[in-house]
């Protein structure tokens, strides 16, 4: 057996999230069954991040053990089964102790927004359409608050706990958080962090868009963060605008 690392891209609209879930199509389930079929042995798959239903990925990373000689032939075989909704971009051999999840040093997400009076039909599947002009300066000022190590309880879905189970820490470290104008009426929020809790990026974007439209002030974001109360932040942004762009090791 050889430990392998694969970089995977997928259209989140085709899947009910990354993690395997009996009875529905998921990224991990589809990829694992395809690998097992091609390799002719069972595969245990580890992913760098569990994206929600509808969330896309360009740089998701998975690791698994396999008996294989020709990695390029394996990639072609998997892509022949899974395309166009899911593709393996490349596969490499790695050290035996490599783990796609626990070896990761950071994850980078991108969220794309089309704003203004006219939608863009070519970005409908991968961007959130907001029918208002957004104040980019206010968006940038507000997003600076997230950089650093903070308790993100206000921006995370409350974890489901078994009786007597201690709640997990929702403290996360964010290295970058910034907005860019990538095209006319097209904005992109990019955030890089050590890890993210459930719905964190989408809740951050939902709150920031309220700042961009003037429903909130940039200065409100720090108070929301410090409140550690999910009810203080805005609704989560739609999943289809979010993409797991890159994982760093």
CA distance 163 to 182: 47
pLDDT digits (tens, 9 = 90+) for 27-60: 999 999 999 999 999 999 999 999 999 999 999 9
Q: Sketch the domain layout of the chain as residue ranges.
A: 2-93, 106-248
Q: Which of 42, 52, 144, 183 is catalytic?
A: 52
Q: Which CATH architecture has domain 106-248?
A: 2-Layer Sandwich (3.30)
First-last CA distance in the chain = 22
Q: Is 52 a catalytic residue?
A: yes
Distance CA 200, CA 170 (A): 10
Topology match between the domains 2-93 and 106-248: yes
The packing angle between helices 220-227 and 200-213, to 10°, is 150
Average pLDDT score over residue span 22-28: 94
pLDDT above 90 for 92: yes
**What span, in angstroms and rounded, lies between the C-alpha atoms of 249 and 237?**
28
CATH T-level topology, domain 2-93:
Alpha-Beta Plaits (3.30.70)
The 10s digit of each residue's pLDDT in 2-11 is: 999 999 999 9
Q: Burial of 73 by CB count in 10 Å (0-12 exposed, 13-18 middle, 19+ buried)?
A: exposed
């Amino acid at each position: 057996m050889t430990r392998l690392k694969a970089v995977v891209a997928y259209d989140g609209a085709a899947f009910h999230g990354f993690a395997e879930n009996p009875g529905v199509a998921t990224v991990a389930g589809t990829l694992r069954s395809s690998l097992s079929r091609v390799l002719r042995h069972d595969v245990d798959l580890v992913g760098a991040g569990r994206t929600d239903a509808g969330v896309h990925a360009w740089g998701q990373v998975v690791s698994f053990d396999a008996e294989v000689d020709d990695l390029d032939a394996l990639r072609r075989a998997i892509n022949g089964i899974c395309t166009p909704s899911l593709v393996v971009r490349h596969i490499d051999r790695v050290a035996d102790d490599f783990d796609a999840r626990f070896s990761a040093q950071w994850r980078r997400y991108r969220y794309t927004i089309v704003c203004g009076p006219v939608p863009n039909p070519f970005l409908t599947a991968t961007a959130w359409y907001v029918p208002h002009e957004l104040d980019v300066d206010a968006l940038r000022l507000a997003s600076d608050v997230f950089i650093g190590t903070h308790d993100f309880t206000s921006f995370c879905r409350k974890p489901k706990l078994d009786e007597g189970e201690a709640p997990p820490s929702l403290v996360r470290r964010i290295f970058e958080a910034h907005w860019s104008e990538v095209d006319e009426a097209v904005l992109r929020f990019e955030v890089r962090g050590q890890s993210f809790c459930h719905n964190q990026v989408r809740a951050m974007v939902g709150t920031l868009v309220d700042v961009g439209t003037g429903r909130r002030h940039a200065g409100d974001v720090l108070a929301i963060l410090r409140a550690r109360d999910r009810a203080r932040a805005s609704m989560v942004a739609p999943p289809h605008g979010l993409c797991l762009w890159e994982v760093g090791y």
